[in-house]
């Protein structure tokens, strides 16, 4: 047995590295164990998000959107001759961004006094952790006052299309294609399917997305889901709903995917197939049976609202516990747990977690949808504003989509904001702040917004709730479906 820490964190993804850094800032002697390695086998902190999730996907989404925008530069008076994609340079750019950020976490650990331990960690019992170093040196038992489990998640596999990392890939593979596949199949029209499907569609693939559900983006506002489906289809994404994959045959260079759809059993032949049907918590070899930690019926680590497991002084955060699998949700849980260990009583506002889908236009929302309010018998007022009436959106040639604001009819508090449009990911922060401060729609209506900005669309939508929008004809409040 060696080393005593106040806190050992297992996992240095967004949840774990936030927890570790805040623990250290609060004066707790902290170590963070992480097993992820980069393409050269060197330790790479930052978890899924930095290595093969949020960051590389956004690098490719931004680069591919610039290519797409450049194809339309003539509309705004700019001519480019011989527009080309150099995929290898684009991938190098993406890899450089990832390397810079993952090494940045190592620097942050050092600067904040977190002891970083590359390798595998496993909770044995009573806050004892078995650490197997990445350099193959002898395993050690480390002892801590508190342990935070932040192991993250991995893609879900389906037996009808097993990933072979050649022709059938998961999201990580789809971030590393070495050539643009002429025909790309994607199983799952969720967040990953839409984001990565968009990347390869923009770069030239014919993309077919096969989605089992009848409803497109069931978690989003209905109107926004409907409008976005139409826009994505107009961009060339062939999204087939109510389509169940029943098998796949891998040939020498193509995959035949069989599915049951609206027209019975059919097949498509593609050059690459991406499986994006969700993620599951990574809990194998993470804790011993007698550690006291248990799993819930969905395989997530059981925790209470403060992220405490059933084992004393053992916490779990991030993708491995209930709630949306989002980096910022895990980050907030990491901060909350660190401050609890240091004696504070912070909480996470689980009802105000923003969601973003980084397509073009982007989709973002926070709070309730109309359908959720109706299901809970909450009476509400609604204000909407289309970007087609926004001077800034028109000037930028990005005028698709709308803002929708929902306010409780009883007290006017904002209870949901939904955006389909340019920079929705940034705009939604205004709504999160407003809701964090319990703002009413009147509060936002009385707030001054700079002109011309995209944020004015939020202003106009809240003005619309009281029939006072200026740049559109007001309509009676009520459902906007
Ligand atoms: P992870 O990031 O998965 O990190 C866990 C770390 O723990 C990993 O490094 C893992 O190797 C390590 N680990 C696990 N077990 C052990 C062990 N026993 N010992 C040592 N180390 C261990 N979310 C967003 O909010 N916005 C986005 O734009 C977004 N884009 C995404 C795009 C893609 C393609 C994918 C796949 C995901 C995306 N996500 C996004 C989701 C986001 O990446 C996750 O929600 C987030 O990374 C979860 O953080 P985490 O810290 O819980 O786990
Ligand atoms: P998801 O849950 O968002 O979508 C999976 C989709 O696959 C669903 O629509 C589901 O109905 C469908 N599906 C499941 N099984 C199927 C089958 N057999 N055939 C056809 N369709 C099937 O999951 P994801 O897109 O894999 O993303 C995983 C997680 O990563 C999500 O929880 C998401 O929050 C997170 N993520 C977030 C972002 C972001 O915040 N922008 C980006 C990427 C990933």
Pocket test for ligand 2, best of 54, 152, 190 (most atoms within 8 A of CB): 190
Distance 314 CA to ligand 2 centre (A): 29
Pocket test for ligand 2, best of 278, 327, 361 (most atoms within 8 A of CB): 278
Contact by Cβ (8 Å): 432, 355: no
| Closest-approaching ligand to the CA atom of 134 | 1
CA gap 282, 270 in Å, rounded: 30
Helices 327-341 and 14-25, axial angle in degrees (round to 10): 30
286 ligand 1 Cβ < 6 A: yes
* Alpha-carbon distances of 31 from 19, 135, 391, 481, rounded to whole Å: 10, 17, 51, 51
pLDDT for 362-379, tens place per residue? 999 999 999 999 999 999
Per DSSP, the chain holds a count of helices (H) and strands (E) of 13, 21
297 phi/psi in degrees, rounded to 5: -65, -15
10 ligand 1 Cβ < 6 A: yes
Q: Is the dihedral of CA 345, 369, 322, 332 positive or negative?
A: negative
Structure tokens at 450: 């700079």
List of residues 6+ apart from 278 with CB closer than 8 A = 155, 156, 188, 190
**Residue 471 a catalytic site member:** no
CA gap 332, 344 in Å, rounded: 14
- Is the pTM above the cut of 0.95? yes
CA gap 179, 379 in Å, rounded: 52
158 ligand 2 Cβ < 6 A: yes
Q: What is the pLDDT of residue 115?
A: 98
CA gap 312, 314 in Å, rounded: 5
Closest CA to 55 of 16, 87, 110, 102: 102
Q: What is the pLDDT of residue 139?
A: 96
What's 190-221 look like in SS3? CHHHHHHHHHHHHCCCEEEEECCCCCCCCCCC
Q: What is the pLDDT of residue 476?
A: 63
Instruction: Kindly give the number of the ligand 1 atom that is closest to the alpha carbon of 317.
Output: 52
Per-residue pLDDT for 1 more than 90?
no
Instruction: Kindly give the number of the ligand 2 atom that is closest to the alpha carbon of 327.
Output: 40
Q: Is the dihedral of CA 152, 433, 58, 217 positive or negative?
A: positive
| Closest-approaching ligand to the CA atom of 277 | 2
pLDDT band at 202 (very low <50, low <70, confident <90, very high): very high
Closest CA to 462 of 419, 401, 399, 400: 419
Distance 216 CA to ligand 2 centre (A): 12
Distance 330 CA to ligand 1 centre (A): 9
pLDDT for 97-137, tens place per residue? 999 999 999 999 999 999 999 999 999 989 999 999 999 89
Q: What is the pLDDT of residue 136?
A: 87
| Closest-approaching ligand to the CA atom of 276 | 2
13 ligand 1 Cβ < 6 A: yes
279 ligand 2 Cβ < 6 A: yes
pLDDT for 166-201, tens place per residue? 999 999 999 999 999 999 999 999 999 999 999 999
> What share of the chain in percent tops pLDDT 70?
98
Per-residue pLDDT for 59 more than 80?
yes
Question: What's the chain's average pLDDT?
Answer: 96
CA gap 415, 221 in Å, rounded: 13
E strand or H helix that includes residue 59: helix 54-71
**Residue 187 burial (CB count, 10 A):** 26
321 ligand 1 Cβ < 6 A: no
């Amino acid at each position: 047995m060696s080393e005593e820490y106040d806190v050992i964190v297992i996992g240095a993804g967004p949840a774990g590295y936030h927890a570790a850094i805040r623990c250290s800032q609060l004066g707790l002697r902290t170590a963070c164990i992480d097993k992820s390695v980069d393409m050269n086998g060197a330790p790479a902190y930052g978890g899924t998000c930095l290595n093969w999730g949020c960051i590389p996907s956004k690098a490719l989404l931004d680069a591919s959107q610039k290519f797409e925008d450049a194809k339309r530069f003539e509309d705004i008076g700019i001519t480019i001759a011989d527009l080309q994609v150099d995929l290898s340079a684009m991938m190098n750019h993406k890899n450089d961004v990832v390397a810079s950020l993952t090494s940045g976490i190592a620097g942050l650990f050092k600067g904040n006094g977190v002891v970083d331990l590359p390798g595998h960690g496993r909770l044995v019992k009573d806050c004892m952790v078995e650490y197997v170093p990445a350099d193959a040196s002898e395993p050690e038992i480390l002892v801590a006052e508190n342990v935070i489990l932040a192991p993250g998640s991995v893609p879900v596999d389906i037996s009808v299309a097993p990933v072979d990392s050649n022709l059938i890939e998961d999201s990580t593979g789809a971030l590393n294609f070495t050539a643009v596949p002429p025909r790309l199949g994607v199983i799952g029209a969720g967040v990953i399917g839409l984001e990565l499907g968009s990347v390869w569609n923009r770069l030239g693939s014919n993309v077919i997305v096969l989605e089992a559900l009848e409803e497109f983006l069931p978690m989003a506002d209905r109107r926004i889901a409907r409008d976005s489906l139409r826009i994505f289809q107009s961009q060339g994404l062939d999204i087939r709903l109510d389509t169940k994959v029943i098998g796949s045959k891998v040939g020498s260079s193509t995959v035949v995917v069989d599915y049951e759809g609206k027209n019975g059993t059919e097949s498509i032949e593609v050059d690459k197939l991406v499986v994006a049907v969700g993620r599951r918590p990574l809990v194998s070899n993470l804790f011993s049976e007698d550690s006291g930690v248990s799993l819930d019926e969905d395989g997530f680590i059981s925790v209470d609202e403060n992220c405490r497991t059933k084992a004393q002084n053992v916490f779990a955060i991030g993708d491995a516990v209930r709630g949306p699998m989002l980096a910022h949700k895990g980050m907030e849980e990491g901060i909350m747990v660190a401050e609890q260990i240091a004696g504070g009583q912070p909480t996470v506002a689980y009802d105000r977690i923003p969601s973003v889908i980084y397509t073009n236009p982007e989709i973002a929302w926070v709070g309730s949808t109309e359908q959720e309010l109706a299901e809970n018998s909450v009476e509400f007022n609604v204000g909407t504003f289309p970007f087609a009436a926004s001077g800034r959106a028109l000037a930028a040639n990005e005028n698709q989509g709308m803002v929708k604001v929902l306010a409780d009819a009883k007290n006017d508090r904002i209870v949901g904001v939904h955006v389909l449009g340019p920079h929705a990911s940034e705009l939604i922060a205004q709504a999160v702040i407003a809701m964090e401060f319990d703002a009413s729609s009147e509060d936002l209506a009385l707030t001054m917004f700079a002109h011309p900005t995209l944020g004015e669309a939020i202003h106009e939508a809240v003005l619309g709730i009281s029939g006072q929008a200026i740049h559109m004809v007001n309509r009676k409040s009520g459902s906007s479906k």
